[in-house]
Chains A and B, each alone.
Chain A
Amino acid sequence: MLKRLPASSARSPLAGSHCITRPGTVGGAANRPGAAFAILLCLCAVPQAGASGWDLDRLMRAVAANAQQPLSYREEKLLGLLETPLRSSGRLRVVPPNTLLREVLEPYRVRYVIGADDLITMEQEDQPPRVVQLGRVPAAAAMVGTLRALLLGDRSALEQLYRLKVNGDPNAWTLELEPRDTELARHIDLLRVEGTEGHIRFLSILERNGDHTRMELRPDE
């Protein structure tokens, strides 16, 4: 998996500066000789964050303040089942109080409404909407709900599922989410979010089976 990451980063049109500048802190870093150093760096980063007054609380409040801004995204999935990355792009929009609209525009059009109560509605042209309820599969509900909670800046929802750790300063911060729940940890290794001020720019989800999702976000014009 990790062997694949730099390669795909290089190949990926998504490979932005964030990915390349901090590859070592992505989950699984312990396999690398530089891991200890990376961890040390992280530890050092904490007091710095405090010094600049940048902490989880501020980060979340800043993100929540921007929550309603429509975003466009480009996603790349590196899956064990596939030989090549699976790409898609579209728009994301939060509808208060807690619904997330995810509209896939490329390579085809489909709209997902990720509502409260772990309900997902799938709307496709010339097809009746399909509803999936995830409540019976908590891990799946958590995975689906995480993006919504992140974009909403819903700290308590995130803290129920993950241990959160902030690094960096307001201009370039990273947030690491490590599953608390053993059930969720069976599926997810680590989530990594990068951003500037109240804007989330990049999201990486590393799954336990080696699947890797990378999503780049920017304000939708």
Chain B
Amino acid sequence: MSERNRLLRIGMWCAAAMLAAWWVAVHTKLRSDPSAMIPHRLDEPGRLLMEQIQQGPASRMILLAISGGTLEGRVAASRALAERLRGDGRLATVSNGERAPDENLARILFEYRYLLRDLSEADFSGPALREALHAGLRELRSPLSPLHSRLLPADPTGEMARLLAGLTQRREPARAGGVWVSPDHSQALLIAETPMAGLDLDGQRERVAAIEGAFAAVRTDAAAALRLSLSGPAVLALAVETRIRNETTLLGLVATLGLLALLHRGYGSGLALLYGSLPGLGAVLFGAAALGVFYGEIHAITLALGITLLDVAIDYPLHLFSHGPAALTKGPLQGLGGTLALSVVTTAVAFGSLLFSGLPGLEQLGALTLVGLLAAWTITLHLLPALPGVSEVRRRPLPMPTWGWLPRRARAALPAVLLGVAVLLLSTRPAIWEDDIGALSPVPQPLLTQDRALREALGAPDVGQALILIGEDREMLLQRSEDLAPRIEELVAAGAIAGAETLTAFLPSLRTQTRRQQALPAVEQVSENLVRAQVGLPFKPNGFAPFLGDLKRTKTMPPLTAEVFAGTSLGLKLDALLGRSGAHWTLLIPLHGVRAPALLAAHFAERPLAGVSYLDVRAQTSRLVAGFRDRALRQMALGGALLSLVLLAVLRSLRRTARVLLPVVLALILDVTLLAAWGQRLSLFHLVSLLLVFGVSLDYSLFAHRAGTGDAATDSAAAAHALTLCMASTVLVFGLLAWSEIPVLRAIGLTVAIGVAAAYLLVFALAPAPASGSYAT
């Protein structure tokens, strides 16, 4: 290669890398929301619910708990913290239970009180009114008389008390000293609502910092023994982000140092690590740029998994270094380039199966790894040989197993033994697959437990269980919700659910409101009844004029609409549960205390209602995950068949193809068996990791095969050297991940480290001994 040519190549790659980096930096958005793992094929209600979970008010909630110190101290701190945060203005609302129900809401409910319940003439008859007045007198003698003496003139029948009781019936937190506390009074509880959606992690981070700062200020005033703990979707996401960053920073540092030592030992040159990392870096860079071009964005999880899968690319330069650049120039199939090409193509076929997974994040992962593999391959072949000093990277002797170390008789028995152990072990396991994606949640268990406890204590909604209504407009939905009421009562009576949060208690449909207006008796009639009812009672004759006036006004006033609630606490709830989504409107009815999801699902399957669906997020995601897994397995099987055909075409022998594939298949079986023995249940992330194991072990097997067929004396030593370093580096990097406390990282680390180590041993064990040269001819 001439000097000019060399510089041209380096310059070309530099320009390409800069272009890709610019594209990624300017035109590619990083998305960190969970939508990457939500299938395209999710049905409409499922999609809506996911939207709610990601952007709805529940995602904006930060739950606060003050513990430690004395009860008085916690109560005082709750008040002080709430006051400080309300003054701060960076949070939309801060509630700790000490405030009156929002006065605007009470005013609205009072104004429309005669439209919020079915009332008839009988409710305003003489006897009914007389009974109500007697009850009123009783209330006036009670400790609550100051309230009742104000309410009675306009509301002698106690409509407002009934409404407020309904409003507070929603599970209110316990109280002490006038603020919310946990049931055992050991914590003071608050809820803050951020102005931005839970997905906006930067905004959320700032709000969390504001809360912590305010608490620090409050604590210096009060007792120092108080502690604040936070929870809520955004808080958990932030905790996970911090944790992943801390862990990966540490692991990355250790891995880099380890790799440096390893490659220095293997090649006696620091250039090996520098140059060896280029194909991998290039793979991620060009892969990301490709996603930027195709999709305009990358899911964070795609990037993370992509960097993992593209770790296979570090093997390519190692092959090059171990064999020496000269090896590239041999014949197309005999030379290094041919084997490398076959390895890249087969790995690409395996990774490519992700393209059809139906999950946006994994589709992107397929595209990213395909482009990445291609980039790594061309960088290894095209750029690396042109780099200055690359020829000085020479292999140094390493302790290595010998080719074909397993005795002939043992070889024949090995597949049967492995298979037998696998079947025996896997059949005794209760479950191999993990369908509950929550089990792999990166949120540490103590945080999850705390979140659940806080949620329970605060009565914060759990949106995992809901009925979803779809309709053309708001009115249609409200009518449907009303029509649904008897079914809900039936379900409550049957014990399937404890209750449902229906909006129509406070926002009836126009149909119902009009009907109620018409059903109200004429005010003259009620006035007469009232006069009769008052006989012998101490009420002033004209005392109930406000009541009669309101009744008269109600009969003709414009009905209550959702807009009226704007700015009240119920308005927030309305926005969360009732909204336009594309062409139609949707209404959510959160369910409480769902005891028998299966019963509920069966109920709505047997007696379907137009526009009403029951959604059980957990069951739905489990179903989706299982469905995806089955599809992924089928596609991997298809991919396996496809690449067997590729191998067959290239190797032109059924026997050789089988020899190449045998260690790969055995490595996968051994990997799964060992994982099961370890107590791991296989998830999506294990499957993706198995893909990597597949790609890497196929690469090993192909090179072992090449060693068996090539110029035996030099090539088999070079191949063994390369494979040893490949294995050592992969096991190093992924073995470190296996120590992670984050379930997903641990799953990936364990699977890959075990699988790759197994593949390495099996490839060496089952390779033909070079001396025998069994299939060299």
Question: What residues of chain A have their CB less than 8 Å away from a CB belonging to chain B?
Answer: 75, 77, 79-84, 86, 88, 102, 104, 108, 110, 112, 114, 116-118, 120, 122, 132-141, 143-144, 147, 187-188, 207, 209, 211, 213
B171-179, B371-379, B725-733 - interface stretch: B171-179
Q: Is the CB of A77 within 8 A of B145?
A: yes
Contacts of B108 in A (CB 8 A): none
Within 8 A of A (CB), among B157-201: 168, 172, 174-178
Q: Shortest Cβ distance from B655 into chain A, in angstroms?
A: 82
> Does residue B704 face the partner (Cβ distance < 8 Å to A)?
no
Question: Contact check: which of B137, B144, B152, B539 meets A140 at CB < 8 Å?
Answer: B144
**CB neighbors of A among B103-147 (8 A):** 137-138, 140-147
Chain B hits for A104, CB < 8 A: 141-142
Task: Point out the residue from B137, B143, B149, B177 that lies within 8 Å of A80, measured CB to CB.
Answer: B149
Q: List the 6 shortest-distance A-B pairs measured between CB atoms, nearest first.
A: A84-B538, A88-B141, A82-B538, A117-B175, A143-B146, A144-B143
What are the residues of chain B within 8 A of A188 when measuring CB–CB? 146
Q: Is A133 a contact partner of B175 (Cβ separation < 8 A)? A: yes
Residues of A near B138 (CB, < 8 A) are: 108, 110
Closest beta carbon of chain B to A175's beta carbon, Å: 20
Cβ contact of A135, chosen from B97, B142, B144, cutoff 8 A: B97
Which chain A positions have C-beta within 8 A of B100? 136-139
Most chain-B CB neighbours within 10 Å: which of A102, A135, A147, A213? Answer: A135
Contact residues in B for A114 (Cβ distance below 8 Å): 143
Q: Is B559 an interface residue (CB 8 A)?
A: no
How far, in Å, is B157 (CB) from chain A's closest CB? 15
| Contact A82 to B540, CB < 8 A, known contacts A112-B142, A147-B143, A207-B146 | yes
Report whether B176 and A117 are in contact in the complex, using a CB–CB cutoff of 8 Å.
yes
Report the separation of the CA atoms of residues A102 and B538 in the bound assembly, to the nearest whole angstrom.
24
A144 to B178, CA, bound (A): 13
| Whole-angstrom CA separation of A213 from B147 in the bound complex | 13
Knowing A112-B142, A112-B143, A140-B147, the reply to whether A86 touches B137 (Cβ < 8 A) is yes
Residues of B within 8 A of A135 (CB): 97-98, 175, 178
Known: A120-B143, A138-B100. A79 touches B149 (CB 8 A): yes
By beta carbon, the residue of chain B nearest A188 is B146
Q: How far is the CA of A188 from the CA of B150 in the complex (A)?
A: 13
Residue pair A86, B175 in contact (C-beta under 8 Å): no
Binding site for A on B (CB under 8 A): 97-101, 137-138, 140-147, 149-150, 152-153, 168, 172, 174-178, 538-540, 543
Q: How far is the CA of A79 from the CA of B146 in the complex (A)?
A: 10
Contact between chains at A102 and B143 (CB < 8 Å): yes
B141 touches A75 (CB 8 A): yes
- The minimal Cβ–Cβ distance linking A176 to chain B, given in whole angstroms, is 19
Q: How far is the CB of A53 from chain B (nearest CB, A)?
A: 31
> In the complex, which residues of chain A have a beta carbon less than 8 angstroms from the beta carbon of B140?
77, 79, 81-82, 86
Pair B178/A77 contact, Cβ less than 8 Å: no
Closest B residue to A137 by beta carbon equals: B100
Q: For the complex, give the distance between the alpha carbons of A198 and B178 in Å.
A: 29
Expressed in whole angstroms, the minimum distance between the Cβ of A43 and any Cβ of chain B is 31
- Chain A at the B interface: mostly helix, strand, loop or mixed? mixed
Residues of A within 8 A of B149 (CB): 79-81, 207, 209, 211
Complex Cα distance A138/B96, Å? 13
CB distance from A55 to the nearest CB of B (A): 26
Q: Which residues of B contact A209 (CB under 8 A)?
A: 149-150
Besides A122-B142, A138-B98, 11 more A-B contacts (Cβ < 8 Å) are A79-B149, A84-B538, A86-B140, A108-B138, A116-B176, A117-B175, A132-B144, A135-B178, A137-B101, A207-B149, A209-B149
Q: Which of B97, B144, B146 contacts A120 (CB 8 A)?
A: B144
Least Cβ–Cβ distance between B714 and chain A, in angstroms: 85
Contacts of A207 in B (CB 8 A): 146, 149
Residue pair B152, A81 in contact (C-beta under 8 Å): yes
| Complex alpha-carbon distance, A95 and B176, angstroms | 18
Contact of A136 among B143, B145, B168, B540 (CB under 8 A): B168
Q: Are B101 and A136 in contact (CB under 8 A)?
A: yes
User: Min CB distance, A203 to chain B, in Å?
Assistant: 13
Q: Identify which of A83, A117, A122, A133 contacts B539 (C-beta below 8 A).
A: A83
Q: Is the CB of A187 within 8 A of B146?
A: yes
25 contacts between A and B (CB under 8 A): A80-B149, A81-B140, A81-B149, A82-B539, A82-B543, A83-B538, A83-B540, A86-B137, A86-B141, A102-B143, A110-B138, A110-B142, A112-B142, A116-B176, A117-B174, A118-B178, A120-B144, A135-B98, A135-B178, A136-B100, A137-B100, A138-B178, A207-B146, A207-B149, A213-B145
Residues of chain A within 8 A (CB-CB) of B98 are 135, 138
User: How far does the alpha carbon of A187 sit from the alpha carbon of B147 in the complex, in Å?
Assistant: 10
Q: Which of A80, A114, A117, A138 has the most CB of B within 10 A?
A: A117
> CA–CA, A82 to B146, complex, Å?
14
Nearest CB in chain B: distance from A210 CB, A: 10
Q: Which residues of B contact A143 (CB under 8 A)?
A: 146
Task: Kindly list chain B residues whose C-beta atoms are within 8 Å of the C-beta of A88.
Answer: 141
With A and B bound together, what is the CA distance between A116 and B178 in angstroms? 9
**List of A residues within 8 angstroms of B178 by Cβ:** 117-118, 135, 138, 141
- In Å, the complex CA distance between A213 and B507 comes to 39
By CB atoms of chain B within 10 A, which of A79, A83, A141 has the most? A79
Task: Give the chain A neighbours of B147 by CB distance below 8 A.
Answer: 137, 140
A167 CB to closest chain B CB, in angstroms? Answer: 25
A208–B98 CA distance with the chains assembled, in angstroms: 23
Chain A minimum-CB-distance residue to B156: A81
Shortest CB-to-CB span from B350 to chain A, Å, is: 61
**Residues of B contacting A120 with CB < 8 Å?**
143-144
Kindly state the separation between the CA atoms of A84 and B175 in the bound complex, as whole angstroms: 39
Known A75-B141, A117-B175: A211·B146 in contact at CB below 8 Å: yes
Q: Are the C-beta atoms of B142 and A140 separated by less than 8 Å?
A: no
* B-chain residues with CB within 8 Å of residue A134 when the two chains form the complex: 144
